[in-house]
Amino acid sequence: MNMVTVNRYCELSGETLAAVNNRIARGIWRKGVHYTVVARRRRINVREVEKWAGQQAV
């Protein structure tokens, strides 16, 4: 499963909701790539976020 709710992503990753919201607000995570909105709820694309995180570690 690639897409999870923001709350579930926070549970799985240990990141805070504020950190996720900050990345989205600053445009670090792009809509349609790293997250999407379905029925007014954000869903995180775990696969794309993992790719992004791997690039940050370099």
Whole-number Å distance between alpha carbons of 35 and 25: 12
* Domain interval for residue 13: 3-56
The pLDDT tens digits along the chain (58 residues) read 699 999 999 999 999 999 999 999 999 999 999 999 999 999 999 999 999 998 886 6
Total count of domains within the chain: 1
What does the pLDDT read at residue 56? Answer: 85
Q: Are strands 3-5 and 35-38 parallel, antiparallel or unpaired?
A: unpaired
Q: Which two tokens stand for residue 25?
A: 């607000």
The residue whose two tokens read 């240990």 is 14
